[in-house]
Amino acid sequence: MSGIVVAVSAKAKHGVDKTNRAVIRLLAGEGVEGDAHCGATVKHRSRWRPDATQPNLRQAHLLHAELFEELAERGFAVTPGLMGENVTTRGVDLLALPAGAVVRLGAEAAVRITGLRNPCYQLDELQPGLMAACLDKQGGELVRKAGVMAVVLVGGEVRAGDAIVVELPQGPREPLKPV
């Protein structure tokens, strides 16, 4: 499975939207250099409050650009970085990846997928109804479409136009759950 990086984004302060950059640097075991969520321990405010020592399974957020087209059909104007992702992708079915899949970004960097991003109410602050538009029902199950979260295995620079290569884990594959 392969694809391409459409955009890269980061933001030093907490908040949903992130600023597009020419390049981001991933730091092994930490996340995106200069991003509010960078660190070995949890940085997301809702997870930090109960236990700031838990491991950060959300060091990098990847989101598929194909979602933007789906949302546009429903009247939403979404562009790379707006939903808080660090890496906007095209050509990889991120939501179908199993837990533990390794995603190679460009020549150097690699992340391990830890789970699904659970869309939050802050999306509605960007555009009313956006959070609900990132959720769906399929066979009675809730489908979260707001991308995937990952930890950084190998650091390096990532930029728009970089190739994406996915390596699936050996053995039984576990479906993604929210992290």
For the segment 105-119, the average pLDDT, to the nearest whole number, is: 97
What is the C-alpha separation between 166 and 97, in angstroms, rounded? 9
pLDDT digits (tens, 9 = 90+) for 123-173: 999 999 999 999 999 999 999 999 999 999 999 999 999 999 999 999 999
In the chain, domain spans: 2-167
pLDDT of residue 44: 78
Q: What is the pLDDT of residues 43-99, one digit of tens each?
A: 977 776 778 899 999 999 999 999 999 999 999 999 999 999 999 999 999 999 999
Q: Residue 87: what pLDDT?
A: 99
Helix, strand, or coil (residue 67): helix
Reported as a single tens digit per residue, the pLDDT across 21-51 is: 999 999 999 999 999 999 999 997 777 677 8
pLDDT value at residue 5? 98
Report the topology of domain 2-167. M1 Pyruvate Kinase; Domain 3 (2.40.33)
pLDDT of residue 52: 87
pLDDT (0 to 100) of residue 47: 72
Q: What is the pLDDT of residue 50?
A: 78
Q: How far apart are CA 146 and CA 94, in angstroms?
A: 10
pLDDT (0 to 100) of residue 42: 92
E-only strand ranges, 51-134 = 60-64, 87-90, 102-105, 109-116
CA distance 5 to 89: 5
pTM: predicted TM-score of the whole model, two decimal places: 0.96
- The candidate with the shortest Cα–Cα distance to 2, out of 116, 98, 95, 89, is 89
- Any alpha helices (H) in 2-106, and if so which ranges? 45-48, 66-72
pLDDT at 152: 98
